[in-house]
């Protein structure tokens, strides 16, 4: 059986410079895939390209199918209809998606107007119910408030309720808890986990602690490509790509990674559009040989000529 989301050779370029360079990914129905990697490796662009939300200057090519429907190259009008209904996205900063001058309840009701046939009063009532369902207390009063009157955590709860209002098959969350303090982060994560039991979740994060918490599978991105995918357990316990291993190295216990940013790895991610010969990770890799210098490793499995086999100490 085919997976819910299948991405093949997805590319995003700006004036011929490729920021996403042939991404291969799949997400199963109701499953959670965490996408990790350093800043600038193309995580957000990959997600935005799927929903037709990449910047206008971006040239997107390749294939991404959602339940068999091709998303890449679709007309804006068709993608707008698809967004919210079959796939929805939440961002790090909920203020970027909320209208600052419209009451919260009205904004949720507007989304319900698109996805349901409920009448006006019913929609407002349902909006309050949705707010309650994401753990917002005193929802009837809060529904009348403006976005700035809510805390960051409350706003992110509102965004989750809006994203799930159309019962999408796929929810994409791009660092949804990064801007929140640790306690609120844990609450919002628990909420996402609970509310996405039947919804596939593509979860973009820097935080290895969060990965263990939420994901079934992990995809590690480097320089615009997926360099390794596997179950959470395989990735955390026996990373095979030297980059994955480097990301995990400063995590003391692979079963219980510490929350926080990814550890820093010496050296830098190649710049977008930089000419890359051989393996993009080579300048930072302790295992490189002549082949790594001259020939790019194959993508699809572990994108490395010399994958690690030993269990890291």
Ligand X SMILES: Nc1ncnc2c1ncn2[C@@H]1O[C@H](COP(=O)(O)OP(=O)(O)OP(=O)(O)O)[C@@H](O)[C@H]1O
Residue 108's binding partner among ligand X, ligand SF4, Mg ion, none (Cβ under 5 to 8 angstroms by kind) is: none
Q: Write down the least CB distance from residue 55 to ligand X, Å.
A: 4
Q: Which is nearer to ligand X, 39 or 295 (CB)?
A: 39
Q: Is the dihedral of CA 72, 77, 81, 87 positive or negative?
A: positive
State residue 88 phi and psi, 5-degree precision.
Answer: -135, 160
Does residue 206 interact with ligand SF4 by CB under 6 A?
no
Q: Write down the least CB distance from residue 281 to ligand SF4, Å.
A: 4
Task: Specify burial of residue 254 (Cβ count, 10 A radius: 0-12, 13-18, 19+).
Answer: middle
* Stretch of 2-10, 111-119, 198-206, 303-311 lying at the interface with ligand SF4 (CB under 6 A): 303-311
Q: Write down the least CB distance from residue 169 to ligand X, Å.
A: 23
- Residue from the set 32, 33, 44, 94 that interacts with Mg ion by CB under 5 A: 44
**Interface with ligand X by CB under 6 A: which residues?**
14, 19, 37, 39-45, 55, 57, 272
Q: Is the dihedral of CA 249, 253, 257, 259 positive or negative?
A: negative
Q: Write down the least CB distance from residue 286 to ligand SF4, Å.
A: 8
Please check whether residue 174 is in contact with residue 195, taking contact to mean a CB–CB distance below 8 angstroms. Answer: no
Residue 1's binding partner among ligand SF4, ligand X, Mg ion, none (Cβ under 5 to 8 angstroms by kind) is: none
- Residue from the set 184, 287, 299, 301 that interacts with ligand SF4 by CB under 6 A: 287
Q: Which of residues 227-266 bind ligand SF4 (CB under 6 A)?
A: 242
Q: Write down the least CB distance from residue 287 to ligand SF4, Å.
A: 4
């Amino acid at each position: 059986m085919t997976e819910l989301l299948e991405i093949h050779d997805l590319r995003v370029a700006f004036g011929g410079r490729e920021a996403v360079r042939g991404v291969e990914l799949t997400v199963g129905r109701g499953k959670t895939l965490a996408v990790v990697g350093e800043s600038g490796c193309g995580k957000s662009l990959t997600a935005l390209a799927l929903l037709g939300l990449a910047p206008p200057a971006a040239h997107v090519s390749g294939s991404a199918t959602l339940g068999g429907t091709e998303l890449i190259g679709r007309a804006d009008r068709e993608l707008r209809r698809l967004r919210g209904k079959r796939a929805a996205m939440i961002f790090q900063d909920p203020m970027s998606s909320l209208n600052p001058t419209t009451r919260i309840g009205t904004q949720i009701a507007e989304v319900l107007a698109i996805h349901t046939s409920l009448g006006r009063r019913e929609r407002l009532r349902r909006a309050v119910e949705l707010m309650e369902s994401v753990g917002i207390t005193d929802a009837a009063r809060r529904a009348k408030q403006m976005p700035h009157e809510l805390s960051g955590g409350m706003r992110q709860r509102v965004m989750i309720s809006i994203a799930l209002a159309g019962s999408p098959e796929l929810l994409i969350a791009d660092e949804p808890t990064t801007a929140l303090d640790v306690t609120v982060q844990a609450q919002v994560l628990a909420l996402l986990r609970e509310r996405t039991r039947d919804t596939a979740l593509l979860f973009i994060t820097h935080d290895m602690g969060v990965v263990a918490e939420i994901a079934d599978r992990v995809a590690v991105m480097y320089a615009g490509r997926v360099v390794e995918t596997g179950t959470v357990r395989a990735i955390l316990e026996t990373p095979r790509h030297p980059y994955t291993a480097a990301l995990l190295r400063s995590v003391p216990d692979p079963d219980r990674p510490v929350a926080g940013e990814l550890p820093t790895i010496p050296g830098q991610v190649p710049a977008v559009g930089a000419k890359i010969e051989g393996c993009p990770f080579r300048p930072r890799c302790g295992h490189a040989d002549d082949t790594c210098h001259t020939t790019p490793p194959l993508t699809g499995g572990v994108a490395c000529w010399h994958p690690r086999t030993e269990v890291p100490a």
